[in-house]
Structure 1
Amino acid sequence: MQNVNGYSETHKRTLELVMTAVLIALVFVCTMLLNIKLPIKANGGLVHMGTAMLFITSILFGPKKGAYAGAIGMALFDMVGGWLLWAPITFVARGLQGYIVGKIAWAKGHKGNHMGLNIMAAVISMPVMIAVYYVGEGILYNNWVAPLASIPGDIVQNVIGLIVAIPLCAFLLKIPYFQNKLR
């Protein structure tokens, strides 16, 4: 059965699955290959471009794809990058962050095309991500003071991600593909 765009529902679902898998891979690659270890001893000392890609994905493709890409892409990095113990925490923290960014960026029919909402979405998602990592680290180490040292690195990572993602989204939203095909 054909829908309005001439694609069957099966074809449309397949395209959605492939697009989600590509976005997960992009978050994973940006986390894996584009990272810098900060000179701080706390666990929040890794800055990577996976956060920027999470923001970009959530803004351009909405909350569902943003949540999947952030949760799975960054948890996969933890699993292959020597941070296996952190994978479940990352899955929750980054899944929630991607969902929140996408939900706010796509609020009131904007679909990621309102830069003010996009910035607000990323900023609102940051304390949630930081809180999940704080609680996770507190549970892992049975210590509620030590995780405080990770917060500055988490903030730096999110701010850099925001600084990279917002201009890139503004540029990408001018490309006809993002204006027509995804809307």
Structure 2
Amino acid sequence: MKQEYTKELVFGALGIALVFISTMFLKLPNSIGGYLNLGDGFILLFSGLLGPFASFMVGGVGSAFADIAGGYGSYAIATLLIKGAEGALVALLVHRSSRLRLPAYLLGSLLMIAGYYVTDSLLNASWIVGLAGIPGNLIQAAIGILIAMAGAPFLQRLKERPRE
């Protein structure tokens, strides 16, 4: 039992680090003050492996730290909540059934897109301006799903590997 907690902690810390790095250093600014990044792929990937709380931390903390460090501090609290909820939702669904992996990734991505639409609209004081972020978030979500689907079998084998 203790070994499972240790694995959850180690994989959670690795997830936070990878989300931070892939968000902070692999990004393209968009026209409405945000940016596209590859962090969603690692949020989805680790959320398919970890429990809901750890997945919330991976998505929320890794992404919010990247916002703060990257000069997008006005998004940090919203990012913590949006990306954290994305991770927790995916974890809840995937842990019910592994057959729900792709639907969970899709629902988590839709939650992220909706969350950033509201955030962009509020930060830009316009529900119309907020619409401009949706295409980029759709692309980000699609790439994230591809990353997670490709990496899930590898990460699952790594987690199940017996200790030597």
Shorter-normalised TM range:
0.7 to 0.9
TM-score, scaled relative to structure 2: 0.87
- Of the three residues 107, 123, 126, the one matched with 2:109 is 126
User: How far apart, in 1, do the equivalents of 2:154 and 2:4 lie?
Assistant: 26
Q: Deviations over 1:71-125 (max 9, x none)?
A: 0000000001010101011111101100111111111xx4xxx3x4111101011
* Contact 1:27-1:69 at 8 Å conserved across structures: yes
Moved more, 13-22 or 136-145: 13-22
Give, as a single letter, the amino acid of the residue that structure 2 aligns with 1:179: E
* Contact 2:20-2:66 at 8 Å conserved across structures: yes
1:154 maps to 137
Report the alpha carbon displacement of residue 69 of structure 1 after superposing the two structures with TM: 0.6
Report the alpha carbon displacement of residue 132 of structure 1 after superposing the two structures with TM: 1.4
TM-score, scaled relative to structure 1: 0.78
Report the alpha carbon displacement of residue 17 of structure 1 after superposing the two structures with TM: 4.1
Give, as a single letter, the amino acid of the residue that structure 2 aligns with 1:63: P
SS in 1 for 2:36: strand
Paired residues, what number? 162
Q: Deviations over 1:1-60 (max 9, x none)?
A: xxxx5x4xxx8756644543332112101212233x26x52345x332211100111001
1:29 maps to 21
Q: Are the structure 2 counterparts of residues 16 and 170 from structure 1 closer, same or farther at C-alpha, using a change threshold of 3 Å?
A: closer
Q: How does 1:32-51 map to 2 (within 5 A)?
A: 32-35=24-27, 37=28, 41-43=31-33, 46-51=35-40
Give, as a single letter, the amino acid of the residue that structure 2 aligns with 1:122: Y
- Of the three residues 67, 73, 96, the one matched with 1:78 is 67
1:53 maps to 42
SS in 2 for 1:47: strand
Identity %: 31
* Contact 2:36-2:136 at 8 Å conserved across structures: yes
Give, as a single letter, the amino acid of the residue that structure 2 aligns with 1:69: V
Q: Are the structure 2 counterparts of residues 79 and 100 from structure 1 closer, same or farther at C-alpha, using a change threshold of 3 Å?
A: same
Q: What are structure 2's unaligned runs of at least 5 residues? A: none
1:88 maps to 77
* Contact 1:43-1:150 at 8 Å conserved across structures: no
2:159 maps to 178
